[in-house]
Structure 1
Amino acid sequence: MFIHIGDDHVIQSKDVVSIVDHSLLSSSSIIEEMVFNQRKEKRVIESKESDPKAIVITKDYIYFSPLSVYTLKKRANMMTTLNRLEDFSDEFEA
């Protein structure tokens, strides 16, 4: 399934490695270094319209999302629920 993470970016949920609060960027040297290295590789997609609230780490890119971690988690959980409903619908068709 797909998750809309803000700023017209939609990613596949299976590609998400982690979603962390943006405030951790300045307090974690590991995250800071990872973002720095990915910026050199041009694999960081940042919001130009609003301040980021979350960092979405995928297999290939790092996205700075204007949505909160809580909102992104709710969206991901909603997709999981919808997947389960789709799975049950197959049983009723038979």
Structure 2
Amino acid sequence: MYFHAGQDFVLNTRDVLGVFDLDTAGASRRTGDYLRRAEQEGAVVDLCAPGTLPKSFLVTDFPGETVYVSPLSPAALKKRAERSQID
């Protein structure tokens, strides 16, 4: 099933490995290192409109390991993913 992850972008729920809150996970040094490395490798896709603060990031395994930075909260993403499986 697919769900909207931000900026008119849809992801397949099967490809999502994890959804993380940037407020809590972003405070970790390891998370910061992981995100910097992903950025350097060109594996980060920003789904935020200009001027919008990101609230979460999703790690997927397709295509390859990709990190999507989303303006939506983890709770909103969870609801969208759950709703897509019901429809």
TM-score tier by shorter-chain length is 0.7 to 0.9
- Report the equivalent of 2:77: 72
Deviation at 1:25, TM superposition (A): 4.3
Name the SS of the counterpart of 1:64 in structure 2: strand
**Unmatched 5+ residue regions in structure 2?**
none
| Segments ≥4 residues shifted beyond 4 Å | none
Q: How many residues align?
A: 82
**Unmatched 5+ residue regions in structure 1?**
83-94
**Larger RCO of the pair (alpha carbons < 8 Å, separation 6+):** 2
- Report the equivalent of 2:53: 51
- Report the equivalent of 2:32: 32
Answer whether contact 1:54 1:67 (CA < 8 A) is retained. yes
Q: 1:69 corresponds to which letter in structure 2?
A: P
The CA distance in 1 between the partners of 2:26 and 2:60, in whole Å, is 20
RMSD, aligned α-carbons: 1.3
The CA distance in 2 between the partners of 1:57 and 1:13, in whole Å, is 11
Q: 1:66 corresponds to which letter in structure 2?
A: P
Q: Please identify which structure carries the higher strand content.
A: 2
| TM-score (normalizing by structure 1) | 0.79
- Report the equivalent of 1:91: none
Q: Please identify which structure carries the higher helix content.
A: 1
Question: Which structure has the larger Rg over C-alpha atoms?
Answer: 1
1:45-86: per-residue Cα shift (whole Å, max 9, x none)?
12242111111111121111011111100011112222xxxx
| TM-score (normalizing by structure 2) | 0.84
